[in-house]
Each structure stands twice: as structure tokens, then as C-alpha cells.
Amino acid sequence: MSLQGFTVYSQSPVRGYRGEGAYRKVKVKVKINKMKKLTLILGVVSVLTAQLVADEKEDVMALGQQKFQLCVACHGADGKGMKPVPGMVMAPSLVNSKIVKGNPQAMAVAVLKGIKKEDTKYVGIMMPLEASLNDEELAAVMTYVRNTYGGKSEVIKEKDTIKWRELYSKSKEPLARAEIEKIAAE
């Protein structure tokens, strides 16, 4: 064990002194085990880190919710797909979707490049939004959708969306749903 010292300023004024601002200076000696000291420091650091991460996520989710308005026309505000008439759906549900829940690269390529219309299951087509979203916005909308509809909790990083945009930069056509679902399963 080691003996650690620190100074505390009391909240009560110095006795016998009538002026303001004079506070008692008290030296305190406390025995702190090195392991307890390390645990205390790590605890404080983890609380501060958790707060920073929570603040970052809150900001990203707010931007993502704002940018999700691009998606609402087809996927609906509830993410379950708009139904313009009974029996017809504009777009698939995002809720527990393989593409939303899977490898985030799959969702990135679906949003960036779009999805080919291969049947009449959905009225709409997933249009490429590559020109509509910058990398920060893409990361934010992906974070919002994955957290809101896919049961995920992580924040998609802008550096990842930059990487995915570069990876698919030579692709000029939308991808087939099967291709994207294969990426999602990786």
C-alpha cells in the first residue's frame, strides 16, 4: 500500500476571519491500494468514454433520421413499406431485413447503387442514392436504419462509407437483390 496525499478546501469559512473568500486548507492523507486506484481511474475513463460515444451516436442518429426522409416515400415512416393500394407494396420492409441486419457493406451498396427491379413483388425500385448522400450522411442514415429497424446498436463510421463508395465506384448499374443479400450474409 502507498500513502497518497491531496489538498481539500473546506466549504466553511475560516473561523475568526470576517472577510469573504477565506477557506480552510486541509491536508488529507489517504491509504489507497494501487489496484483500487487503477480501478477508480479506469472507471472514470470508461464513464467519460461512454458519454462521448453516447453523444456521438445521438448526433449521428439525428442526422440519420433527417436523411431517412429520402426513404420514407417508399419504405414508410415505420420502415414497413408503403402500401399505395391493398395488396401492393412500394418497397420491402426494413424491419429485420437481411440487408439491414447483415453485413453493413450490403446496405451501403444497396443505398449507393440501388437494387435491380427483377419482378413485380414491389411497385417501386430502389434508386441509387449515391449522388444524394455524402459519406457522413450515408453513415448516419445507415446507423439510423440499422439501429431503428435492424436491432443493431453500432454507429457506422464515415471512413467505412468512404471505403465502400470507392469499392463500388466502377459499378454503374444497380445490383441484383441476390447479390446484395449474399454480401449481407458475409
Q: Where in the chain is the domain with CATH 1.10.760.10?
A: 55-185
> What is the predicted pLDDT for the residue at 3?
47
Alpha-carbon distance of 137 to 156, in angstroms, equals 10
Tell me the per-residue pLDDT of 67-88, one tens digit each, with 9 for 90 and over: 999 999 999 999 999 998 888 9
Pairing of strands 2-13, 23-32: antiparallel
Residue 133's nearest CA partner among 104, 162, 175 is 162
CATH, domain 55-185, list 1.10.760.10, 3.60.70.12, 1.20.59.10, 3.40.50.10090: 1.10.760.10
Residue 6, Cα to own-chain centre: how many angstroms? Answer: 40
Tell me the per-residue pLDDT of 8-43, one tens digit each, with 9 for 90 and over: 444 544 455 455 555 555 555 555 666 666 676 676
Tell me the per-residue pLDDT of 114-139, one tens digit each, with 9 for 90 and over: 999 999 889 989 999 999 999 999 99
For the whole prediction, is pTM greater than 0.75? no
